[in-house]
Every structure is written in structure tokens, then in C-alpha cells.
Amino acid sequence: MDKPVIEHENLYNKLLQIDIELALDTQEKGCPYCGGVLHRANYPRVPKGLSGLFDISHVVRFSFCCSGDECRRRTTPPSVRFLGRKQYLGVLVLLLCTRRQLSQQSITGDLRAFLKPHEKTVWRWLTWWRSIVPGTKFWTGVKGLFMPTLNVSELCDELVQVFSATHSSTGIQKLLRFISPLSCCHSTESDAQKLKVLTFPQSMSGQNPTH
């Protein structure tokens, strides 16, 4: 049986290298607001999930601060390790929202049972995939790349399948890089309100994510 993607050797080191490349590219372009020089201003992150695979004391989110005295604005490059402010690693936000994980027919050694994320946390992720991501500038700009068109009600699951990300370390890296612009997208006030008014179901155990 193929090894689960989250157990592939060096997966996280490869994701770190991609983040370093994205950070260097951002720094070379300079401040997007005034064109000034960007100085390193990383900040620590303590990601949940699979922390035993690496030393969380050295996990940082790459970021920069403009050197211009009249600017000093922060610029944070895209990331393949993190999806915005979500506490879990991006790879887990992907895999835990797939249909087979939600129906508890695990593709990764019963990942949900191992990590034990709160149901409300998974529900917020699903809401983000279904109701927030389809309205972002990122998705508006790239949705035309897929033929046939992907079903936004199952967007996470379909992206995982298109990139063969459930069993391929290369596939998950490509998918995380593809959606990396979302790691810099902050929810708008209307997005936050949308998340609040949605009803959280009593139980998601065995629930089909399309409903």
C-alpha cells in the first residue's frame, strides 16, 4: 500500500524550501507600496497537527517590513505551509476537508481520529472552501483554467483530485503552491459575517460534505 502523503519523507522540508523561494522572490521585488527595500521581519507560528515531525520552536512565517521611514508597511509573501491565520498546517486543511476524510473512510491512516480537530474547526474550514474561496480574486482569476469547471460546493475535494494530492507528495506540493495566494487573503467583514450566520450542524459524523 502506498505511504500516506503526510508521511512522505522530507515533505515538510520541501514545503519549507518552497516558502523560502517565495519569500526571496517577494523581497527581490521590493515594497509593493513604495518600492523601498524590504527587511526581514519574520514572526513565530506554532502550527497544530503533526508537530512531532519537526521542531515547532523554529517554525516561522516569513515576512518583511519596508525600510522606508515614511512607509514601514509589512509585506508577507505567499506560503505553502500556512493558509492565512489558520492554526493547522495547510496540508491538513486540505486533507481533512476531503470527502473521504469527512465520511471517516480515511485516506491517511484515520487522520481525523489521530489529530482530533474540533468539529466546529472543520466546519469553518468547509465554509471557507465553499463560501469564501469561490468569491476571492484568486479563484475568479484561475477558475477558467479548469475544464470541465470545478464544482465550488466540493472545491477542496475536486482540487485534491485534480492534483492527485492524496497520494502524491509532488501533487500536494503543486496544489499548495497553486493555492498559495490564498495564504495572504484576509477575510473581509462580509466574509466574517457570513461565517457567523451559517448554522453549525449538531454532528458531522459520517455526513456527506455536499449537504
pLDDT by residue for the chain (211 residues), tens only, comes to 455 566 666 888 889 999 999 999 999 999 999 999 999 999 988 887 665 556 666 689 999 999 999 999 999 999 999 998 888 888 888 888 887 555 554 444 455 555 667 778 888 888 999 999 999 999 999 999 999 899 998 999 999 989 988 778 889 999 999 999 999 864 433 444 443 333 333 333 333 333 3
Would you give the DSSP letter of residue 136?
A: S
Adjacent-strand bridge partners of 88:
48
The ranges assigned to domains in the chain are 5-194
State the pairing for strand pair 74-75/64-66: antiparallel
Q: How far apart are CA 117 and CA 89, in angstroms?
A: 12
Phi, psi dihedrals of residue 174, rounded to the nearest 5°: -65, -40
The DSSP H or E segment spanning 113 is: helix 111-115
Burial bucket for residue 57 (CB in 10 Å: 0-12, 13-18, 19+):
exposed
The cell for 108 is 491517511
